[in-house]
Homo-oligomer: A and B are copies of this chain.
Amino acid sequence: MAQALTPKGEATRGRIVAGAAAEVRDRGVDEVRLEDVMARTGTSKGQLFHYFPGGKEELLLAVAQHEADQVLVDQQPLLGELTSWPAWQAWRDRVVQRYRDQGEHCPLGALLGPAVRRTPATRAVVTGLMRRWQGAIADGIRHMQSTGDIAAEVDADRAAAAMLAGIQGGVLLLLNTGRTDHLEAALDLALDALRGTARP
Q: Which residues of B contact A165 (CB under 8 A)?
A: 165-167, 169-170, 172-173, 182-183, 185-186
- Stretch of A53-61, A79-87, A155-163 contacting B (4+ beta carbons < 8 Å): A155-163
Interface residues of A in 91-119 (CB under 8 A from B): 109-110, 112-115, 117-118
Classify the secondary structure of A's interface with B: helix
Interface residues of A in 123-157 (CB under 8 A from B): 123, 126-127, 130
| Beta-carbon nearest neighbor of A194 in chain B | B189
Bound CA span A182–B175, Å: 20
Identify A115's interface contact among B30, B112, B182, CB under 8 A. Answer: B30
Render A16-46 as a binary contact track against B, CB cut-off 8 A, 1 for contact.
0000000000001111000000000000000
Render A61-89 as a binary contact track against B, CB cut-off 8 A, 1 for contact.
00000000000000000000000000000
Identify A117's interface contact among B168, B175, B188, CB under 8 A. Answer: B175
Given the known A-B contacts A114-B113, A159-B185, A159-B189, are A176 and B28 also in contact in the complex, defined by CB atoms under 8 Å?
A: no
Bound CA span A29–B127, Å: 21
Bound CA span A165–B99, Å: 15
- A residues sitting closer than 8 Å to B (CB atoms) are 28-31, 109-110, 112-115, 117-118, 123, 126-127, 130, 158-159, 161-173, 175-177, 181-183, 185-186, 188-190, 192-193, 196
Closest 7 CB pairs of A and B: A169-B169, A168-B169, A165-B169, A165-B186, A162-B185, A162-B189, A28-B114
Q: List 5 A-B residue pairs with CB atoms under 8 Å apart, sorted by A's residue number.
A: A28-B115, A123-B176, A164-B173, A165-B186, A169-B186
